[in-house]
Amino acid sequence: MALSLYFLVLFLHLIPSVICQVKEFVSIDCGGTSNYTDPSTGLAWVSDTGFIRHGKAVDIKNPNGDSPQYQRRRDFPADRNKYCYTLSTTERRRYLVRATFQYGNSVSGDPYPKFQLYLDATMWSTITVLDASRVYVEEMIIRATSTAIDVCLCCATTGSPFISTLELRPLNLSLYATDYEDSFYLAVGVRVNFGALSKDPIRYPDDPYDRIWESDLDKRQNFLVGVAPGTESISTSKNIKITREFPPIKVMQTAVVGTQGRLSYRLTLEGFPANARAYAYFAEIEDLGTNETRKFIMQQPLVPGYNNVIVNIAENANGSYTLYEPSYMNVSLDFVLSFSFVKTRDSTRGPLLNAIEISKYVQIIPKTQSNDVMTLDAFHSMPPGSDWIHEEGDPCIPTQWEWITCSSSTPPRITKLALSEKYLTGKIPDKLKHLDGLTELWLDGNSLTGSIPDISNLLNLTIVHLENNRLTGPIPSYLGDLPSLRELYVQNNSLSGEIPSTLLTGNLVFNYDGNPELIQGVQHKKNFKLIVGTSVGVFVVFVVFILGSLLLLCNLWNMPAQEKSNDKCNSLHTISKPSTSYSLVHGGSLMVEGPDVAYYITLPDLEEATHNFSRKIGKGSFGPVYYGKMKDGKEVAVKILADASSHGNQQFINEVALLSRIHHRNLVPLVGYCEEAHQHILVYEYMHNGSLQDYIHDSVDQKHLDWLSRLSIAEDAAKGLEYLHTGCNPSIIHRDVKTSNILLDINMRAKVSDFGLSRQADDNLTHVSSVACGTVGYLDPEYYANQQLTEKSDVYSFGVVLLELISGRKPVSVEEYGAEWHIIHWARSLIRKGDVMSILDPSLAGDIKIESLWRIAEVAILSVEPHGGCRPKMQDIVLAIQDAIKIEMERQRNYTRCSRSRTRQSPHISLPSNSLETDISNFSGGCTVPSAR
């Protein structure tokens, strides 16, 4: 019953999303003759006849398998042209573009083709067919820069270019967002499903984005060799909670495990060495016993800073059957990638791996200047148009259109237009004036009519051929002023009026024969005309000026209104559509998001959730924080970033993309974000128990934390910081670690907040902003002195937090510490004297084992060493805290045993500090063996 209900829910979620997604998919069967639905995937394929007018469809003899897409291919001539498919896109949306190539058996015995594939002006791949029966797949993940992309084939070195399928799959949310997407595409290298149940890849409908997940059983390609002994496949049918990059559940339900403690693979990465984005997908899919652990490290490749990072999937993912996806956003990899995971000594189970995905960064090559392209389009659409060659794709890259010449600059400019004798009719397009890189204009021998258009700003023109057309009207006088003009041909037209005298100076070749109505100017008549012309001209300029200022005024008037009417937070819509986690399907687009994905929240929704920002619950490092309750009942903390103007929207969006990728049970999760012209807002999960600061310094509420609770809070917070330092790439330095940034959830588990935002200060790290980056009392003096920020600055601040936890005192106070004013000086001098009990919070006295206290005191004092190099790493701190916890738990076990025979002393009674030591030793004398250290 429960199961069928579950399927029903799943079903209801899938149906509308499947339909929406499929509607947005473009699946082109190149060379195909009809439109059809592929029964195996349910995808609708269309023939490419509506997309391309070149090439010929070729039947493939004995195609491999019976996929309808691979019954035919489209071949293109092996000439100097490129052949392009143009696909419509939404600007700034991310897409997966996939081209596949299956040559099939060649009848003619021609050599197998080798040619190039381009995406716009960017070289995508060289297609080299070595095996006619293999389907070669190329995938690129892009963020569309305009309303269309061109996929082009060209430059065959053997055989002729061909293509089998072309597919466009829109992506949602921040899927595949990278910090580099303005300048780099992502070419998918490998995407492997480990522990696969069959050799077939997993794709749509299992993957709603139709990514292809290769099976690790598919040994066709030269990949996945060097498999470690003891590698076994496992699978589960349980649901897996997935988020972020959304690997399909079916992929996550299978995995390989290294039963002998090791997993290793070697595979080849086409197109490498390169810089890559690499993801590993993990989910614990075995039910481990309570005493069992699965911990491992990556031994290979040696990525600096990652050799000691211990993966503990269930812990990192905050539970079994939940996705954990560590990634390297920019790692340099070779053609051959060997990788291995090795279990740690204290782990009971060997490593596990569900899937990997590695993509290479491909630098985007700028397309020809858009003004130039627009002008060429105007020529393209001149009647009769189709009489001369129609070419596709970028005019200049990788090969130039036949009728133009391009500069070699970046981006390229059009320098020559060669349209002599192309049977053009109609007027010369006015847009010609935008081609300001033009040096040669050849429009002779057509049937062009109308007057010579304004080309006064084409200052580089040297040669102009307009002869043998039917042009009318005057010869513009500015032609004589074009600085580079050397040759001007206008003969055999119907031009009229006076010939400008500046053209007759003999400085340039000028042919105006065969225009019967042209007259050479008479001096005095010309002067008269000039005067009239000038005064008329002045009047016109005046009127234009007045009109212009009126228009400008109106525009200013309208501007705020326009901005207001704009959909709020408009600029973000293009990145990820607004959605809420309580409606899985929103606005017709698929949202497979789980509760921990940052999504876009509109300002009105936030105003409603927070009752117009009425309940302020705190002030974070970057601005005020308000309590809110979303429509679905989720409680949130809404943080308004002060000073939104100092970082641009793009930067904010990058931050959000970064933050929503950072997930750890000890970090406060980002729920969503909002961005408006002057406000940047982040929405976090609400932490019911407030901050650690409230607990240890708020004397009003008398909240009490015993030693073990303090230790476990310290452990949680330290793990969160450790993750920021070592689990993120690039590593993140918090910069503002303090008790008010350590929050406690409903179960009193600690989570670190306000991380990641600190990156925003990077750009203009002035003296002022750097001071603002820390809080007095927690600020690393070394960082303060030389502005060198390292992880050790966080360690320093965390040392202060530990001292607060021990003592229950504030970090800075003249009353408490006198001239020393700082907790560190006070604590250090006492600890040096061996008097650790004197720094202990009086409310803890009598309820603590001194060894456990010493362990924490030691590591705290080391953490606040003046020199960063002497301070421990967060990992060491975590170990010390865990030690202290072990010692304390032991004491409590003994204590329980022993307390049966005596009345338990209340731990809440505060004792005068001078009587502490005697009390403790008296007390422990009966139960445990005290030892000073």
Ligand X SMILES: *[C@@H]1O[C@H](CO)[C@@H](O)[C@H](O)[C@H]1NC(C)=O
Instruction: Give just the sign of the alpha carbon dihedral 909, 915, 920, 923.
Output: negative
Give the whole-angstrom CA distance, residue 245 versus residue 177. Answer: 10
Residue 736 among the catalytic residues: yes
Quote the least distance from Cβ 333 to ligand X, whole Å: 11
Among 25, 36, 180, 923, binds ligand X (CB under 6 A): 180
- Using alpha carbons, select from 153, 94, 69 the residue that is nearest to residue 119: 153
Least distance (Å) between residue 272 CB and ligand X: 12
Tell me if 731 contacts ligand X by CB under 6 A. no
- Tokens encoding 443: 């429009």
Q: How far is the CB of 693 from ligand X (least distance, A)?
A: 39
Min CB(143)–ligand X separation in Å: 13
Residue 851: helix, strand or coil by DSSP? helix
Residue 330 as a binder of ligand X (CB under 6 A): the answer is yes
> What phi and psi, each to the nearest 5 degrees, are found at residue 918?
-65, -40
Q: How far is the CB of 268 from ligand X (least distance, A)?
A: 20
If the CB atoms of residues 184 and 652 are measured against ligand X, the closer one turns out to be 184
Give 37's contacts (C-beta < 8 A, 6+ positions apart): 43, 44, 45
- Compute the distance between CA of residue 607 and CA of residue 379 in angstroms, rounded to an integer: 52
Is 233 one of the binding residues for ligand X (CB under 6 A)? Answer: no
What span, in angstroms and rounded, lies between the C-alpha atoms of 787 and 771? Answer: 10
Closest CB to ligand X among 360 and 891? Answer: 360
Residues 444-463 that bind ligand X (CB under 6 A): none
Closer residue to ligand X in complex, CB, 299/729: 729
For the four alpha carbons of 105, 110, 115 and 117, in that order, the dihedral sign comes to negative
CA angle 47, 52, 55 (to 5 degrees): 95
Q: Which of 240, 274, 244 lies closest to 354 in space, CA to CA?
A: 240
Q: With respect to ligand X, which residue has the nearer C-beta, 184 or 246?
A: 184
Question: Pairing between strand 750-752 and 635-641?
Answer: unpaired
Total of chain residues touching ligand X, rule CB under 6 A: 5
Please name the residue that has the structure tokens 């949202």.
591
Nearer residue to ligand X within complex by CB, 67 or 125: 125
Residues 6+ apart with CB under 8 A from 511: 467, 488, 489, 490, 491
| Residue appearing with tokens 């293109």 | 76
User: Which stretch of DSSP H or E encloses residue 262?
Assistant: strand 262-268
List b or e across 670-699, with b for residues whose CB sees 16 or more CB atoms inside 10 angstroms: bbbbbbbeebbbbbbbbbebbbbbbbbbee
Identify any residues that bridge with 639 across adjacent strands, giving them in sequence order: 625, 682
Instruction: Tell me the residue nearest to ligand X as measured from the CB.
Output: 275
- Is residue 275 involved in binding ligand X (CB under 6 A)? yes
Q: Pick the closer one to ligand X by CB: 76 or 361.
A: 361
- Find the binding residues for ligand X in span 7-36 (CB under 6 A): none
Which residues, numbered 756-815, are part of the site for ligand X (CB under 6 A)? Answer: none
Output 361 or 755, the one with its CB closest to ligand X. 361
φ, ψ dihedrals at 674, nearest 5°: -145, 145
Of 75, 736, 841, 847, the active-site residue reads 736
CB of 180 to ligand X, least distance (A): 4
Strand, helix or coil at 213?
strand
Shorter beta-carbon distance to ligand X: residue 180 or 895:
180
Helices and strands counted in the chain (H then E): 18, 47
Of 22, 76, 34, nearest to 52 (Cα)?
Answer: 76
Measure Cα distances from 236 to 296, 321, 324, 337 in Å.
Answer: 21, 9, 17, 29
Angstrom distance (rounded) from CA 118 to CA 56: 20
Q: Which is nearer to ligand X, 349 or 661 (CB)?
A: 661
User: Which of 85, 103, 184, 281 is in the footprint of ligand X by CB under 6 A?
Assistant: 184
Q: How far is the CB of 117 from ligand X (least distance, A)?
A: 21
| Beta strand segments in 129-219, E | 136-143, 148-158, 162-163, 165-170, 184-193, 214-215
Q: Exposure pattern of 599-623 as b/e (b: 16+ CB <10 Å)?
A: bbbbeebbeebbeebeeebbebbbb
Site string for ligand X, 140-169 (x = CB under 6 A): ------------------------------
**Which CB, 74 or 661, lies closer to ligand X?**
661
Closer to ligand X at the Cβ: 289 or 304?
A: 304
- Ramachandran area for residue 786 (φ above 0: left; ψ -120 to 50: alpha; else beta): alpha
Indicate the residue among 175 and 742 with the shorter CB distance to ligand X. 175
**Between residues 729 and 790, which has the closer beta carbon with respect to ligand X?**
729
Q: Least CB distance from residue 297 to ligand X, whole Å?
A: 23
Per DSSP, the three-state class of 558 is helix
Give least dist CB 305 to ligand X, A: 13
Contact assessment for residue 30 and residue 164, using Cβ atoms and an 8 Å cutoff? yes
* Minimum distance, C-beta of residue 772 to ligand X, in the bound complex (Å): 29
Least CB distance to ligand X at residue 178 (A):
7
Nearest-approach distance from CB 121 to ligand X, in angstroms = 18
Q: Tell me which of 223, 361, 401, 627 binds ligand X, using CB under 6 A.
A: 361
Single out the residue of 198, 226, 234, 232 nearest to residue 213, CA to CA: 198
Degrees (nearest 5) of the Cα angle 659, 662, 666? 115
**Residue 176 contacts ligand X per CB under 6 A:** no
* Rounded distance between C-alpha atoms, residue 850 and residue 920, angstroms: 9
Q: What is the DSSP letter of 727?
A: I
Give the single-character DSSP code of 693. H
- Report, in Å, the least distance between residue 575 CB and ligand X: 19
| CB distance 423 to 446 below 8 Å | yes
> Which are the catalytic amino acids?
736
Footprint of ligand X on this chain (CB under 6 A)? 180, 184, 275, 330, 361
